[in-house]
Chains A and B, each alone.
Chain A
Amino acid sequence: MTPGLSTRELMFEAATRAYEDAGIDPRKDVQSFVCCTEDFWEGISITDEYMPDQLGAVLRPLCTISSDGIIGLATACMHIMSGIADVAVVESHSKISDVVNPDEIASFGYDPVYTHHHFDADPRFLAGMEMARYLKETRTKRESCAQVAVKNKKNALSNPRGVHGADIDKGIVMNSQVAASPLTELESSKGIDASIVFVLASAQKARKLGDHPVWIRGIGWSSDTPVVEDRDFARAEYVEQAAGRAYKMANVKSPASYFDLAEVDDTYSYKELQSLEALKLASRGKAGKMVDTGAFDTDGRLPVNASGGSLGVGHLLEATGLHRTLEAVMQLRGQAGRLQVPRAKRALVQSWRGIPTATGAVAVLGN
Chain B
Amino acid sequence: MLESPKELSFEASKMALDSAGLTLKDIQSVVSGSAPDAFDGVHMKGEYYLDGMGAVGKPHERVYVGGGTGVFTPIGGWWNIASGLYDTCLCVAEEKMSPLHPHPQYAFWSIFDQILERPLGTTLLWIFSLEMRRYMHKYGIKEEEIAEVAVKNKGNAVDHPCAQLGAKITVDDVMRSEPICEPVKRLDVSPPSDGAAAVILASEKVAKKLTDQPVWLDGVGWTLDSTHWTNRDLAYPEYVEKAAKMAYKMAGIKNPRKEIDVAEPYDPFDYKELHHLEGLQLAGKGEAAKMTVDGVTQRDGDLPVCPSGGLLGVGNPIAAAGMMKICEIFWQLRGEAGKRQVKKDARTGLAQAWGDLMQVGTVTVMRS
Which A residues lie at the B interface, using CB under 8 A?
38-40, 43-46, 48-53, 57-67, 71, 74-75, 77-84, 105-109, 111-113, 220-227, 237, 241-242, 245, 353, 356-357, 359
Enumerate chain B residues within 8 angstroms of A58, measured Cβ to Cβ: 224-226
Q: Is the interface of A mostly helix, strand, loop or mixed?
A: mixed
Enumerate chain A residues within 8 angstroms of B37, measured Cβ to Cβ: 38-40, 45
Contact B42 A83 (CB under 8 A): no
Instruction: Say if the beta carbon of B307 comes within 8 Å of chain A.
Output: no
Task: Please tell me which stretch of B52-60, B141-149, B193-201 contacts chain A, meaning at least 4 of its Cβ atoms lie within 8 angstroms of it.
Answer: B52-60
Contact B47 A357 (CB under 8 A): yes
Enumerate chain A residues within 8 angstroms of B221, measured Cβ to Cβ: 61
Which of B47, B82, B223, B238 sits near A353, CB closer than 8 Å?
A: B47
- With both beta carbons as reference points, the residue of chain A lying nearest to B52 in the complex is identified as A226
Contact B46 A59 (CB under 8 A): no
Which of A51, A65, A225 sits near B51, CB closer than 8 Å?
A: A225
Pairs A-B, 10 closest by C-beta atoms: A82-B82, A108-B43, A81-B83, A78-B83, A45-B36, A46-B66, A64-B64, A109-B43, A62-B224, A45-B110
Instruction: Say if the beta carbon of B136 comes within 8 Å of chain A.
Output: no
Contact A63 B225 (CB under 8 A): no
Q: Count CB-based A-B contacts (< 8 Å).
A: 178
Q: How far is the CB of B45 from chain A (nearest CB, A)?
A: 8
Provide the bound-state CA to CA distance between A51 and B107, in Å: 20
The size of the chain B interface, using a CB distance under 8 A, is 63
Which B residues lie at the A interface, using CB under 8 A?
4, 35-38, 40-51, 55-66, 72, 78-80, 82-85, 107-108, 110-111, 113-114, 220-228, 238-239, 242-243, 246, 250, 355-357, 359-360
Interface centre among A57, A59, A62 (most CB of B within 10 A): A59
Provide the bound-state CA to CA distance between A357 and B65, in Å: 22
Contact B224 A220 (CB under 8 A): no
Contact B108 A221 (CB under 8 A): no
**A66/B42 contact (C-beta < 8 A), A49-B357, A113-B4 known:** no
Enumerate chain B residues within 8 angstroms of A111, measured Cβ to Cβ: 48
Enumerate chain B residues within 8 angstroms of A245, measured Cβ to Cβ: 59
Enumerate chain B residues within 8 angstroms of A53, measured Cβ to Cβ: 226-228
Enumerate chain A residues within 8 angstroms of B227, measured Cβ to Cβ: 49-53
Can you list 12 A-B contacts (CB < 8 A)?
A: A48-B224, A50-B227, A52-B224, A60-B223, A66-B46, A66-B63, A78-B82, A82-B84, A107-B43, A112-B41, A223-B56, A226-B48
Provide the bound-state CA to CA distance between A79 and B79, in Å: 6
- With both beta carbons as reference points, the residue of chain B lying nearest to A79 in the complex is identified as B79
11 other A-B residue contacts (CB within 8 Å) besides A78-B85, A223-B56, A226-B49: A45-B111, A46-B35, A52-B227, A59-B224, A60-B224, A61-B224, A61-B243, A82-B79, A106-B43, A223-B60, A226-B50
Enumerate chain A residues within 8 angstroms of B45, measured Cβ to Cβ: 66
Provide the bound-state CA to CA distance between A326 and B253, in Å: 41
- With both beta carbons as reference points, the residue of chain A lying nearest to B78 in the complex is identified as A82
Contact B63 A63 (CB under 8 A): yes
- With both beta carbons as reference points, the residue of chain B lying nearest to A111 in the complex is identified as B48
Contact B58 A222 (CB under 8 A): yes
Contact B36 A46 (CB under 8 A): yes
Contact B41 A222 (CB under 8 A): no
Contact B47 A223 (CB under 8 A): yes
Enumerate chain A residues within 8 angstroms of B58, measured Cβ to Cβ: 222-223
Provide the bound-state CA to CA distance between A359 and B220, in Å: 28
- With both beta carbons as reference points, the residue of chain B lying nearest to A38 in the complex is identified as B44
Enumerate chain A residues within 8 angstroms of B66, measured Cβ to Cβ: 46, 48-49
Q: How far is the CB of A319 from chain B (nearest CB, A)?
A: 15
**A353/B79 contact (C-beta < 8 A), A45-B111, A48-B224 known:** no
